[in-house]
Amino acid sequence: MNLAGWLAAAARLRGDAPALMTGARVDADYAAFARRAQGLSAGLARAVGLRPGARLALFLKNRPEYLEAMQAAWWAGAAVVPINAKLHPREAAWIVEHAEACAVVTDDPALAVPCPTLSLADLRRLRETEGAGDPARTPDDALAWLFYTSGTTGRPKGVMLSHLNLAACALCYPLDVDPPTPRDAALYAAPMSHGAGLYSLVHVRAGARHVVPESQGFDPTEILDLAPRLGDVSFFAAPTMVRRLVDAGGDGEGIRTVVYGGGPMYVRDIEDAVARMGPRFVQIYGQGESPMTITALSRALVADRKHPDWRARLASVGVAQSCVDLAIAGPEGGFAEPGEDGEILVRGPQVMRGYWRDEAASAAALTDGWLRTGDVGRLSADGFLTLTDRAKDVVISGGTNIYPREVEEAVLEHPDIHECSVVGRPDPEWGEALVAFVAMRPGRAFDAAALEAHLLARIARFKRPRDWRVVDSLPKNAYGKVLKTDLRARLAKENDP
């Protein structure tokens, strides 16, 4: 199969329906969207040798042309290499070279690579090429999306995802997340180089609108103004983005669905969001190797306050999505029992083929048909998955595992705390000790004694942070994830002689 066939089908069925939009302005209907992808595919074939099996890198901010270039690559039977637009040009150049891209489309003039670079002006010119024919016929396992991980432990790895992988992810969306309709406005406020871009697939198939904000990113005031004018808006947001929507006074008008994931959503924050904006929220859990597709917590479950276990369910990331087989690794092989912590294992048609030209890493991640996620969690008897932490974030103090997320949840229940992240630092007596970084709510002062008393009423004494750091805000990456590596580096620098 070829995912560009979904665009071709939408153009045949709904050619005059609005497809690409900037803000409230329509840039192209579905007939024009498909025509541009087809023409750009032909133009890139002549200009840079785009062909089946080739790789086209995209180092761009969010814009309608991003979707055109994605579809053009697939139309030719080539793969897309999406690169986070917030990376330094040198980091982006490494990815382009490692992927051996035939060309890169970029709006960053500082990018220097050995392959051809194409500007937006080049893209708009090439899409006027006369194109003929349907999308290339590609094998199901043909590479479609070569996604480079964040690289927190060294150079990023290229996750190889096929057309069939992405189709499985997309087809879980209407079953487990939110049934799309042609009335929908899929808003791209999160980077299109990540999961937000992949969510375009199911919305193309549904013939929905694709909207890039004028700001090309996440501005809560802009979204809250735009949503009532568009209606039926849905978008992906990191938990920190949801928090900012609520802080901006969002009431949810015009927004149908906010899919959140990509980092820990604390119970207090999602309770506030539902109380303010209503039952519009769906949680997903996934990772680049199984993108957007491991578990989901439906809007009904997120909003439920009647079930006796509603709070535990709200603290979870939901149940396995339709194409997913989910398990927890046992401490001595086999699988863990319900309620036991262990590494989360996943298998199914959505799981990556492996890492680009890295057999050792592929073999380590894919074992006996299972993807080893590197995340720690536990399954309840009724199938709800609760993330405990990343395996690398677990703190071992006095020989006991402490999961920072549990501590963070407890700290965030205090009304004076706006943000919290807990990490470990070396300790000569205990091996490791917990350090909590906190950002205060406006007008609130830090009170260590009050926080100590607050925690003593909620968690075991040994789980309390032994040290506190008050910061203006927590460091985050382009996807809104807190950078615990930066916090650990800050502690290490403090301890340097």
Task: Express each pLDDT in 30-54 by its tens digit.
Answer: 999 999 999 999 999 999 999 999 9
Over 50: is that where the pLDDT of 274 sits? yes
- The answer to whether 146 and 157 are in contact (CB under 8 A) is no
Task: Express each pLDDT in 227-248 by its tens digit.
Answer: 999 999 999 998 888 989 999 9
* Residue 177 to residue 374: CA distance in whole angstroms: 24
Q: What is the mean pLDDT of residues 152-179?
A: 91
* Segments in 331-384 forming alpha helices (H): 359-365
Over 60: is that where the pLDDT of 418 sits? yes
Task: Express each pLDDT in 374-405 by its tens digit.
Answer: 888 999 999 999 988 676 787 878 666 787 88
- Residue 284: which of 307, 306, 316, 246 has the closest Cα? 316
Q: Token digits for 98? A: 């490692």
- Domains of the chain are 4-379 (3.40.50.12780), 396-495 (3.30.300.30)
Q: What is the model's pLDDT at position 479?
A: 62
* Residue 351 to residue 161: CA distance in whole angstroms: 8
- Of the pLDDT bands very low, low, confident and very high (cuts 50, 70, 90), residue 443 is very high
Task: Express each pLDDT in 300-320 by its tens digit.
Answer: 999 999 999 999 999 999 999
- Of the pLDDT bands very low, low, confident and very high (cuts 50, 70, 90), residue 429 is confident
| Beta strands 370-379 and 366-367, pairing class | antiparallel
Q: What is the model's pLDDT at position 399?
A: 61
3-state SS class at 467: strand
Q: What is the model's pLDDT at position 238?
A: 86
- Residue 438, Cβ neighbours under 10 Å: how many? 23
Task: Express each pLDDT in 179-232 by its tens digit.
Answer: 999 999 999 999 999 999 999 999 999 999 999 999 999 999 999 999 999 999
Q: Token digits for 232? A: 């039926």
Angle at 37 between CA 194 and CA 112, to 5 degrees: 55
* Residue 423 to residue 404: CA distance in whole angstroms: 7
- Residue 53: which of 70, 20, 31, 77 has the closest Cα? 77
Over 80: is that where the pLDDT of 98 sits? yes
- The answer to whether 148 and 95 are in contact (CB under 8 A) is yes
Average pLDDT over the chain, rounded to an integer = 93
Q: What is the model's pLDDT at position 152?
A: 42
Over 90: is that where the pLDDT of 477 sits? no
- Of the pLDDT bands very low, low, confident and very high (cuts 50, 70, 90), residue 492 is confident
Strand ranges in 201-268 using DSSP code E only, listed in sequence order? 209-212, 233-237, 255-260
Q: What is the model's pLDDT at position 496?
A: 66
Lowest mean pLDDT segment, chosen from 239-248, 410-419, 427-436, 482-491: 427-436
Question: Which has more pLDDT, 340 or 399?
Answer: 340
Question: Which has more pLDDT, 133 or 212?
Answer: 212
